[in-house]
Amino acid sequence: MGSSEVILVGVDGSTESMAAVTWAAERAKRMNARLHVLCTYALASYSAAALDGGYAVLDDEALKRGAQQVIDDAISKAKECGVSDVSGSTEPGDPAGVLVEMSAEVDLIVVGSRGGGGFADRLLGTVSSALPSHAKCPVVVVPKHIEGKKFTPIERVVVGVDGSDQASSALRASIDEAILWNAKLTAVSAVPIAVGGSMMTWAPSESDHSTVLRDVRKGMGIAIDSALDGRRFDVARHALDGSPASLLIEFSTAVDLVVVGTRGRGGLAGVFLGSTSQSVLSHSTCPVMVVPSDHLGQVEQVKAPDWGRR
């Protein structure tokens, strides 16, 4: 019996978007889900790498034909990966806007992240950052694979947990993904510590630090038990000193999927994605699943570490 789940992949003709098709295809096979690929055909919404050498004057029909070719290539890639239930379509308009609108009608959206700079990034880089801010369903952003183990099959998943509703949504999604892939799941909570002469005002004193860690671990246990909802599944738990984003980015070098929560609202809060999520999306070396929530949080900034994927 086939699954009713629909996975939507945003494609633009780039190597990164084809990697997103491959990732989505592997997941679709796990659930026997339907896969749909979408390419918009506004100027520079597809095959932007081909425009790096200069601008070209293209009419609407030429753009639409080019977008259809991107769809045909993506469908062929998905079928090569073993997905039989795959379809595609082209739509006029801004890529991020179209995908956000369609996020209310699908179960998961997968996109690639350019991350290489240059003209193509200036045109398309907003998709993988703006889309998770506003999408109504989970979004997986697949980064460029540089080195190390391939992104699939997923064998190790890590999720950030901080006791908020955003983290609870992400925790439930991470458990579902780990069960789907038969992967090991690790939940990570971060406790801020003093660094030199600077310390966050709510960070614990040294004498209270062990108490805070104990309380965090207890809270993690309660959150995990609630997310499991009676299911029997082992979740490793770590309460560690440091920034949530930095810890998750470091974990990304050794796992296959990072799961984080976000507010799922528009406006300025949506642009910033809320605290950890934006930093993890920018610097993770493995795919990141962003799970929306209706609740607001606080923004933080994290310096990009110099790590490579192991």
Does residue 301 sit within a domain? no
How high is the pLDDT of residue 43? 56
Residue 163, domain CATH: 3.40.50.620
Does residue 306 sit within a domain? no
Dist. CA 165–CA 36, nearest whole Å = 30
Structure tokens at 242: 């440091």
How high is the pLDDT of residue 1? 42
Does residue 84 sit within a domain? yes
119 with 167, same domain: the answer is no
DSSP secondary structure string for all residues of 226-293:
HHHTT----EEEEEEES-HHHHHHHHHTT-SEEEEEE----HHHHHH-STHHHHHHHH-SS-EEEEE-
Does residue 300 sit within a domain? no
214 with 171, same domain: the answer is yes
Does residue 148 sit within a domain? no
43 with 100, same domain: the answer is yes
How high is the pLDDT of residue 30? 93
How high is the pLDDT of residue 193? 63
Q: Domain end: 80, 111, 142, which one?
A: 142
Q: How far is CA 92 from the centre of its chain?
A: 25
**How many domains is the chain built from?**
2
- Show the DSSP H helices in the chain as ranges: 15-31, 60-80, 95-102, 118-134, 165-181, 206-228, 244-252, 267-272, 276-283
Q: Domain end: 90, 117, 142, which one?
A: 142
Q: Domain end: 112, 142, 172, which one?
A: 142
Does residue 185 sit within a domain? yes
130 with 201, same domain: the answer is no
Contact 18, 46 (CB under 8 A): no
pTM for the model stands at 0.80
Range of the domain at 168: 156-292
107 with 195, same domain: the answer is no
87 with 195, same domain: the answer is no
Instruction: Give Dmax over CA atoms of the chain in angstroms.
Output: 69
Does residue 83 sit within a domain? yes
Structure tokens at 132: 């998770």
170 with 279, same domain: the answer is yes
Structure tokens at 174: 């991470």
223 with 250, same domain: the answer is yes
193 with 255, same domain: the answer is yes
274 with 248, same domain: the answer is yes
Does residue 307 sit within a domain? no
243 with 125, same domain: the answer is no
Per-residue pLDDT of the chain (310 residues; tens, 9 = 90+): 456 899 999 999 888 899 999 999 999 999 999 999 999 876 544 444 444 444 444 567 788 888 999 999 999 999 999 999 999 999 988 888 899 999 999 999 999 986 544 333 433 456 766 788 889 999 999 998 888 899 999 999 999 887 665 568 899 999 999 999 999 999 998 876 654 444 444 445 555 777 777 888 888 888 898 899 889 999 999 988 888 888 999 999 999 999 998 754 443 333 334 557 778 888 899 999 999 875 333 333 334 444 454 5
Q: Are strands 86-91 and 235-241 parallel, antiparallel or unpaired?
A: unpaired
Dist. CA 140–CA 128, nearest whole Å = 9
Cβ count near 52 (within 10 Å): 9
For 200-237, letters b (16+ CB in 10 Å) and e give: eeebbeeeeeeebbeebeeebeebbeebeeeeeeebeb
166 with 284, same domain: the answer is yes
